Amino acid sequence: MSAAVVPAPALAPPRRAWLTDLPVLAVAVVWGASYLAAKGITTTHTVIAVLVLRFAIVLPVLVATGWRKLRALTGEQWRGAGLLGLVLSGIFLLETYGVVHTSATNAGLIISLTMVFTPLAEAAVTRVRPPASFVAAAGLSVAGVILLTQGGGFTSPSAGDLLMLLAALARTVHVLAMARMKAVRSADSLSLTTVQLGSAVAVFAVLAALPGTGASPWSVAADFGPREWAGLIFLSVFCTLFAFFVQMWSVRRTSPSRLPGCVTLSI
């Protein structure tokens, strides 16, 4: 959908911008910690199972809490949020498999490239050339990430590094889509979060039922001890429920370029 059809979101006045930024910065903190938590409870054979459990824990609470507003969503809003949920499922698959196959440090550094990709993508969509100073800063940021992820000298990126790079690109698509889909911007944030997470958990449940996709969610849950459950609840409540509600709330109060910058600042 072109920029000529969809109006840009109204931005908060400068003196009130910090009221929007503070919750987003809190999301940055919990998302930064999410890579350590995910790496501590996930293996190659339990990625799908952990994702099912992570989303399924909060989904019934969301549905019960926002049932009235959820029913009030229009068909267009359901379709828009469902589409965003499909993108979201891809993001989490890429990120979770990525963090399993690379270090938590590399995962956090590479996903921070979202705040470089998003302004560039927004400039391409709106056909507004970014300032030369930003292009220079973006180049330095990319070079910095490359250097920081090369702990033992220059080597080929691992499979996990490449998956995290794809996840950063997918996050860029997700943020831009949220900002530019008219129906999504006008709907209740909690309802949109619920539909997105519901779409994502449906994808994960289908994948978990397929042969060869790893352990079942139930067997993984049965094997979890107190430490693993604490990590899963942290991922589910703080890194999923709180984080995506804030993201849906804030994307309509600030620009797409500013949002990933705040979100990835602490990663």
Dihedral, CA of residue 185, residue 191, residue 192 and residue 193, to nearest 10: 130
3-state secondary structure of 151: strand
Q: How does pLDDT run along the chain (267 residues), one tens digit per residue?
A: 433 344 444 445 554 555 656 666 666 677 677 888 888 899 999 999 999 999 898 899 889 888 988 988 999 999 999 999 999 999 999 999 999 999 888 888 898 888 888 888 888 888 888 888 888 988 888 888 888 887 666 678 889 999 999 999 999 999 888 878 877 877 787 888 899 999 999 999 999 999 989 999 999 999 999 999 999 998 888 887 777 677 666 655 555 555 444 444 333
Q: What is the DSSP string of the chain?
A: --TTTSPPPPPPPGGGHHHHHHHHHHHHHHHHHHHHHHHHH--TTTHHHHHHHHHHHHHHHHHHHTHHHHHT--HHHHHHHHHHHHHHHHHHHHHHHHHHSS-HHHHHHHHTTHHHHHHHHHHHHHT-PPPHHHHHHHHHHHHHHHHHT-BTBS-PPPHHHHHHHHHHHHHHHHHHHHHH-HHHHTS-HHHHHHHHHHHHHHHHHHHHHSTTS-S-HHHHHHH--HHHHHHHHIIIIIIIIIHHHHHHHHTTTS-TTHHHHHHTTT-
- Give per-residue burial for 193-226: e unless 16+ CB within 10 Å, then b: bbbbbbbbbbbbeebbeeeeebbebeebbeebee
CB atoms within 10 A of CB 185: 19
pLDDT for 115-141, tens place per residue? 888 888 888 888 888 888 888 988 888
Dihedral, CA of residue 174, residue 184, residue 84 and residue 99, to nearest 10: 50
